[in-house]
Structure 1
Amino acid sequence: FDPIVFDGRDPAAYVWAIFEMEHRLTVAAEAIRLGKACYPVRLPYGVAVAPKGAGFYGEGTPASHNLPLGGNPREDATAASHFNEGARELWVPLQELTGVIGKFQHHKDSGRLLERDHSLAHRKVKLSNLPSLEYRTVPKDRLDDSARTFACPMEAVDRVFLSAVQANPHLRPRIGNPDEMRSNRMNRTLDALKHRVTDPEPDSAESIQGAVITALNEEAVASAALGNKGGINLIVTYEAFGSKMFGVIRQEVIFANHCREAGRPPHWLSIPLVLTSHTYENGKNEQSHQDPGMAESMMSESSDVSRVFFPADYNTTAAVMHAVYQTHGQTWTLVVPKADTLPDLFTPEEASRLLHEGGIRLDWAGYLPDRARLILTAVGAYQLIEVLKASKRLKEKKIEHAVVYLLEPCRLRLARSEGEQRHCLDAKRKAFLYPEEVLARLFVSHIRPEILMGILQPLWTSDTVGLGYINRGGTLNTNGMLFVNRSSWAHCLEQAAVLLDLQPEDLLSDNELKALAGKRSPEGVIL
């Protein structure tokens, strides 16, 4: 960087600083053209130094951070005197002000656009080419463990994003990356677009012109993507570190929402924020890396602008990634597993339905779902696996039940605005997923159950239970994390028994009950 410090109380100093920064960049570019220097060029930036509240009463004092007059000038003569004294110093007569304004109105002479006509004010970014989507084949019997195929959902993020970038070279790509691109399975993207560095190492995925902005500063790398309004962007992070990005991403959501409310909807491409190496996958780093808080926070924002998805497999992840760049001005948060052991469960048609409807009933799971006594709902890839295991036991016991998967649970919330009302599922679709006569409802979620149940308040009945992350963790594998957070298939059955007025032993064996009660190890019994 090349900082320029100037007097922040002098308007002329601002003009000088702008010219000086332009001059320094011009000199640097010419030196590179002549072969006397090379990139990267130090970036000039101005530092305007001025006391807080400069030019007004109380400048440079703690009072200037709030209301410096010390009273209401309408009622307090001293406060009024201080106000008038300061305002007089800042006053510019209208005739003088008009003359100065005129000096900025020579656009025709210089060929400069009016600010209101600048492309930044009318940016309309779109894909010129939409790459075809390659789905994985799903086995005929998805409940047959021996017939299952497996894949890494994060590879869908990698493939779909890179294909969109390569098919649209007119769009500058930016990837915000706090750390661990390869660990997060973004190998193709990294090899093609490379880390942006000042001094590339040989035989490495590094370049001065790299599109992957990497720094151990989550807010900074997120801003690199958010600021690239004319391009195509992606943010990928360990889930637990997403919370460090929340402040700046929330400002993006608020600004986009204000634009819509003002009748000027944003036309930059929507940005996916991918949360991976997530709570149920990151045992090696203990609880510091086990936190679903970012998804929970984004779910609290306006759901028609801040959309939160929980893809269950490769195909659902691919469908979401394929769709995000066909929308504008939204932030899509995706909670995506990075393990390559996730079963292929959803056909391309089902993945598309999940995307467009937010949730579907799994016709290939459950038992006599049209006569269901219980509805099992999963939110999250690993949670769905546990729900399907529980469903298998219920089917063996011939207990009628349905299985629902929610990809975008916020579409079933109680709408808080007109935008959310348009985005939420209609009453007919909600009634199909959750018939009012089926009171027993069990939700198993990636996030904290209290958060999910608050969002899904319209679905509450007298017999509704939520399971999910309860702040338990450690150096555990995925199954261990599910067990200590009481979200395993056995915990699902334990709660199902309560909801169905059954005895626990009606659904679980003696050893399984002992494991749930902590009287024996769950290894080899539940895990």
Structure 2
Amino acid sequence: MPHDRIADLDAHWRAANYLAAGQIYLLDNPLLTEPLRPEHIKPRLLGHWGTSPGLNLVHTHLNRLIRQHDLDAICVWGPGHGGPAVLANSWLEGSYSETYPTIGRDGDGMRKLFRQFSFPGGVPSHVAPETPGSIHEGGELGYSLSHAYGAAFDNPGLLVACVIGDGEAETGPLAASWHSTKFLDPVHDGAVLPILHLNGYKIANPTVLSRIPEAELDAMLRGFGHEPIHVTGDDPRIVHPAMAAALDRALERITAAQQAARSAGSRERPRWPMIVLRTPKGWTGPATVDGEPVEGTWRAHQVPLPSVRENPDHLRQLEAWLRSYRPEELFDADGRPTEQVLACVPSGPRRLGANPHANGGLLTRDLPVPPLEHFAVPVDKPGTALHEPTRVLGGLLAQIMRDTARSRDFRVVGPDETASNRLGALFEVTGKAWQGEVLDTDEHLSTDGRVLEILSEHTCQGWLEGYHLTGRHGLFSCYEAFVHIVDSMVNQHIKWLRTTRALPWRAPVPSLNYLLTSHVWRQDHNGFSHQDPGFVDHVLNKSPEVVRVYFPPDANTLLATADHVLRSRDYVNVVVAGKQPCFDWLSLDDARTHCARGAGIWEWAGTEDPAKGPDVVLACAGDVPTQEVLAAAQLLRHHLPGLGVRVVNVVDMTRLLPREEHPHGMSDSAYDALFTPDRPVIFAYHGYPWLVHRLAYRRTGHAHLHVRGYKEAGTTTTPFDMVVRNDLDRYRLVMDVVDRVPGLGVRAAAVRQTMADARTRHHAWIRAHGTDLPEVADWTWTG
């Protein structure tokens, strides 16, 4: 590479380093036009210097590569707290000032850029949603590489660089995501270029991958399917040419692999290049502070000079550090970057901070959801026919997959459970993405498949997040008990969505949709380890403007719910539905109306006198609780014909919240009209019963609310025994009515005894026969 080009790269890198350090320290005097004084320094020094010089080096060299080859590229910045570097680079390239016009690309804008960083009313220290060009927040570590692959899927013209910190590389999610090479289709997908940045330390300890022999590290990365290119050094005169050559070599290999697959028809899985970059932690910062080594050690992780306002030696050292970048060569008198600094920076949407793929809502197309009438099941009478709801949904998803064959902007992901969850109709349209060896006994594997299965919920989640944030649609199908594995990941995504809602320049992206099935009530065969309905509790703790939770009770309501969530934007939607045969309760038209209400009275199931109102409300949420409530209502109709029973079904759990706390919440008057303010409410709920109490605790009738649900009583047993063990069964619900309706306890003592006896018969029967009572197994709704 010519010497002048190296000088241009070094100028840009020095400018980015200066801006990164300035954000951590400076409140004023951004161009050092006068000697530093304590009042120029922020009163609280926050931020992380250690990773910034390495990130600046990567950003500088990606700029050169993009500009030289006119690449369509984004970068996922994995290292935690890398905000100073990426903010500095987006300000240098101009995308930051275009996004935030009050922070111009001049001296006054530089002062504002510095002041706002980790400052009240300013911006976070992470590469956060506020940062132009970001699709990944480097706060919690482990997800960068799976996000990068998600962005590359079905984006054949896109290069996704991904900087992986060596601390992040120790996490389980990151370790699993290396296997994404076995799912990337060189024909229809883009390319991912991992850049493993080894600066040697985490917060206070050395990192594993930086301390193993290079041959061992190289063998590990080759085992994952990569061809590593190593760049090592602490002398910019050596590192700049080496980094430029490494990126050129990586791009050549990527281009060759894609051409071999796209033009020559090669079906051999490429060995994709990656870069291993070794530079010192806190590179170019203070070598020592107070007699202790800093540069190249863990002490450079955060703020190398911690007492600048109070300690004159630290103040002098900071000024010397900042002036070592020679800012007078990098910025003109007005504070604008010089031509040399910007010589290798791309223009327009080719800039990393302006690429529309990193603001994916700009590229989102409406998902072609077909008419539900083509898939709905006929319901002539409630509760007489059965269907598997998720199998019915599979037909809808297969048609969407068919209708997006050209646009390729819809994916279904899951941990090896698509067929198990009765979504096998998808395989009539597409296969499971697979770039590995194929045996004669394998089924549905395809190099260009759009169903992604890997037995790593973390990787599934990361793939889908990256896919959504670059503007595409998808669904994550998972066993209910094991979706907890991504609890922390969904936290981060919800925080991201909440933040972007306040950023007018961020276009809404397709919602992250979960289908949780193989649920607690029908995991009787797998047993206690597979029984946990608590993910919805976790999600409903989060930002109400973002989260939604749905419990469709049958196939048609699942279709109506899916139609809604697949079209939505900027939400996390959790849909819980069974895959086992389930009674059909509502026609498609009724299901649509019921889903639009979110919660409503099923008049055909109740016995209340409209003039008097109900004596008791039987409420339900979830498919199995709905069946048990309707069976209890039928028993009450038979044994206590004079009792006024109202049946309320809840599809949208957020309807239980007050309107002031959630956009879907009900007013107090609407809630009282539905559940009554003073009558007993026996609520059969799919999950942990205290969630319903938490959602409704402020309601007038909360003292009359009694909730039955899962209470950690599980095992391998019969389906009905699961509900009996947790006191959610029809007989227990009737007993609850007798116990809680005033005056009924004495009058209906015989009815209560009959119900208790039925439970006793149940226990004896299943131990003798291994199946449920015939009156339960053969039950249908008779009205």
Aligning the two structures, in what range does the TM-score lie when normalised by the shorter sequence?
Answer: 0.7 to 0.9
AA matched with 1:513: A
TM-aligned CA deviation for residue 268 of structure 1: 2.8
How big is the shift at 1:128? 6.3
Which residue is equivalent to 2:573? 332
Assess, with a 3 A threshold, how the Cα gap between structure 1 residues 210 and 34 changes in structure 2: closer, same or farther.
Answer: closer
Determine if contact 1:357/1:425 at 8 Å carries over to the other structure. Answer: no
Contact residue 509 and residue 569 of structure 2 kept, 8 A: yes
- Give, as a single letter, the amino acid of the residue that structure 1 aligns with 2:365: K
Give the partner amino acid of 1:185.
R
| Secondary structure at 2:698 match in 1 | helix
Query: What does residue range 313-352 of structure 1 map to in structure 2 within 5 Å?
Result: 313-340=554-581, 342-352=582-592
Identity fraction in percent: 22
Which of 273, 277, 285 matches 1:48? 277
Corresponding residue number in structure 2 for 1:258: 499
Q: Equivalent of 1:247, from 475, 488, 498?
A: 488
Tell me which amino acid in the other structure corresponds to 1:220: T
Judged with a 3 Å threshold, the aligned counterparts in structure 2 of structure 1 residues 62 and 236 are, in CA distance, closer, same or farther, namely same
For residue 189 of structure 2, what is the aligned residue in structure 1? none
Is residue 426 of structure 2 the alignment partner of residue 189 of structure 1?
A: yes
Q: How does 1:399-418 map to 2 (within 5 A)?
A: 399-414=643-658
User: Contact 2:417/2:453 (CA < 8 Å) preserved in 1?
Assistant: no
AA aligned to 2:229 is I
Give CA-to-partner distance per residue, 1:350-380, whole Å, 9 cap, x none: 2112322211111111211641122111011
Q: What displacement does 1:62 show? A: 4.5
Task: Give the alignment of 1:131-150 within 5 angstroms.
Answer: 131-134=370-373, 135-140=376-381, 142=382, 148-150=384-386
1:199-210 pair list within 5 angstroms: 199-202=437-440, 204-210=443-449
- Residue 160 of structure 1 contacts residue 322 of structure 1 at CA under 8 Å; is this kept in 2? no
Shift of 1:101: 3.8
Alignment check: 8 A CA contact 2:478 2:517 kept: yes
Q: Residues 409-455 of structure 1, C-alpha deviation per residue, up to 9 Å, x if partnerless?
A: 112213566xx33x33345533331232x331122111101122112
Distance 1:489 1:79 in 2: 73
| CA positional deviation for 1:333 | 1.0
Amino acid at match of 1:253: I
Match of 1:99 in 2: 339
Q: Is the Cα–Cα contact under 8 Å of residues 181 and 190 in structure 1 kept in the other structure?
A: no
SS at match of 2:397: helix
Cross-structure match for 2:673: 432
Counterpart CA distance in 2 for 1:320 and 1:291 is: 22
2:733 equivalent in structure 1: 492
Tell me what 2:467 maps to: 228
What is the CA deviation profile of residues 140-199 of structure 1, one whole-angstrom value per residue up to 9, with x for unaligned ones? 3x26xxxx0000011132111121222233133322120132111111113422111123
Q: How does 1:452-467 map to 2 (within 5 A)?
A: 452-459=692-699, 460-467=701-708
CA 1:317–1:73: 2 relative to 1, 3 Å: same
C-alpha change, 1:33 and 1:362, in structure 2 (3 Å) is closer
Distance in 1 between the 2:680 and 2:675 partners? Answer: 10
Q: Is the 8 A contact 1:133 1:318 kept in 2?
A: yes
Partner of 1:168: 404
The residue that corresponds to 2:229 in the other structure is 4
Whole-angstrom CA distance in 1 between matches of 2:414 and 2:511:
17
1:267 pairs with 495, 505, 508, which one?
A: 508
Q: Give the 3-state SS of the residue equivalent to 1:285 in structure 2.
A: coil
Distance 1:450 1:103, change over 3 A: same
Question: Secondary structure of the equivalent of 2:229?
Answer: strand
Rate the CA distance shift 1:123–1:242 in 2: closer, same or farther, 3 A: same
Structure-2 separation of matches of 1:395 and 1:36: 68
Q: Which amino acid aligns with 1:6?
A: V
Deviates more, 1:207-216 or 1:56-65: 56-65
- Name the structure 2 match of 1:380: 622
Residues of 2 paired with 1:518 and 1:66: CA distance? 67
Counterparts of 1:496 and 1:218, CA distance in 2 = 41
- For 1:346 and 1:34, the matched residues in 2 are separated by 52
Hey, what's the Cα distance between the residues in 1 that align with 2:398 and 2:299? 53
Mean Cα deviation higher: 394-403 or 375-384: 394-403
Deviation at 1:102, TM superposition (A): 2.3
Amino acid at match of 2:461: A
Quick one: which amino acid aligns to residue 254 of structure 2?
L
Contact 1:124 1:267 in 2 (8 A): no
> What letter is aligned with 1:156?
V
CA apart distance, 1:321: 1.2
Q: Counterpart of 1:261 in 2: which secondary structure? A: coil
Check 1:4–1:462 CA distance in 2 against 1; reply closer, same or farther (3 A cut): same
- Alignment-derived partner of residue 57 in structure 2: none
Q: Which residue of 1 aligns with 2:753?
A: 510
SS of the residue corresponding to residue 469 of structure 1 reads coil
Q: Is the 8 A contact 2:693 2:707 kept in 1?
A: yes
Out of 504, 511, 532, which is 1:291 matched to? 532
Count of aligned pairs? 514
Distance 1:235 1:164 in 2: 15
- C-alpha separation in 1, matches of 2:605 and 2:472: 42
Contact 1:158 / 1:185 at 8 angstroms: preserved in 2?
Answer: yes
CA drift at 1:245:
2.0
| Alignment partner of 1:300 out of 527, 534, 541 | 541
Deviation at 1:265, TM superposition (A): 5.5
Q: Does the CA contact (< 8 Å) of 1:310 and 1:335 recur in 2? A: yes
* Larger of the two Rg values belongs to structure: 2
Where 1:302 maps in the other structure, the secondary structure is: coil
Please tell me the residue identity of whatever aligns with 1:510: Q
What letter corresponds to residue 445 of structure 1 in structure 2? Y
Unaligned runs of 5+ in 2: 1-224, 287-293, 332-336, 767-772, 777-783
* Aligned CA-pair RMSD: 3.1
Structure 1 match to 2:169: none
2:623 is equivalent to residue 394 of structure 1? no
1:446 to 2:690 alignment: no
Q: Tell me the distance in 2 between the aligned counterparts of 1:477 and 1:206.
A: 35
Query: Secondary structure of 2:354's partner?
Result: helix
CA 1:411 to 1:81, structure 2 compared with 1: closer, same or farther past 3 Å?
Answer: farther
| TM-superposed deviation, 1:233 | 1.1
Matched, 1:277 2:513: no
